[in-house]
Structure 1
Amino acid sequence: MAGENIATPSPDRPRLLLVEDDAGVRRSLQLLLRARGFDVRAYSAGAALLADPLADSAGCFVADYSMDDLDGLEVLSRLRSRGWTGPAVLITAFPTADLRERALASGFDEVLEKPFREHVLGDTVVRLTQAREAHRLS
């Protein structure tokens, strides 16, 4: 996890968790989501994310499905078991109807197929976090 979360957290930027095992993809998504106004905490593995004490205060979660240690479904399951209730987006290069069904049943709000246009993930995360905030305030 060293070197992955180099930015100082900002109280006015919503915290987002990103777990992606491909370093180039992770860095690209991290930069993209920071440009959209998020304080992105990026991890190369699910276990590293789950070990971070700041993870439970995040407002959104983006996970790759296929990773070496834990898949994205398992990471979300563990976050949910700790009481985390934010919106979640699964990204995958191996989409199937079964995976989509399992992801939605396990609490993911969206499943995005890689590769996707850069605005798709940012727009999805903004929409989900704004909807969650509007619901919380109503």
Structure 2
Amino acid sequence: MPDAQLIHVIDDDDAVRHSLAFLLESTGFRVRQHDSAAAFLAAGVPDKGGCIITDVRMPGLTGVELLHYLTTHGCRIPVIVVTGHADVPLAIEAIRAGVQDFIEKPFTDELLLD
């Protein structure tokens, strides 16, 4: 399957990460799971194709900080932020950083897959 179908799921909560991976794999996507933004970066940032689904609040580098890092290093992979701690300033910061979508937990499978 091409890299365009590869989704990186980044979340420090094992249950959430595994659940997202299961959902995405059941619809035909390839998934790589990372338990932190640092682990994702250590695995090597993809240079094309795919997308990233990341939590906002994680130990170390947050999802928005990861987005800033990717943007400043020329990585144009679409990023979807999911969070259970949304507020207007956070949403604005994520949008200004270039997030593709900002989704509040809990969310339906259909919302994410659309």
Same fold (TM over 0.5): yes
**Runs of 5+ unmatched residues, structure 2:** none
Q: CA distance change for structure 1 residues 12 and 100 in 2, over 3 Å: closer, same or farther?
A: closer
Moved over 4 A (4+): none
Distance 2:70 2:3 in 1: 23
Identity %: 35
Alignment of 1:102-121 (within 5 A): 102-121=93-112
- Tell which has more relative contact order, 1 or 2 (C-alpha 8 A, sep 6+): 2
- Count of aligned pairs: 114
Aligned-residue CA RMSD (Å)? 1.6
TM-score of the two chains, using structure 1 as the length reference: 0.75
> Partner amino acid for 2:31?
V
State TM-score, norm by structure 2.
0.90
Distance 1:56-1:13 versus aligned 2 partners, 3 A rule = closer
Deviation string 1:38-82 (CA, Å, 9 cap, x unpaired) is 211110000000111253344211110000111101111222223
Structure 1 gap ranges (5+): 1-9, 124-138
Change beyond 3 A, Cα 1:43–1:49? same
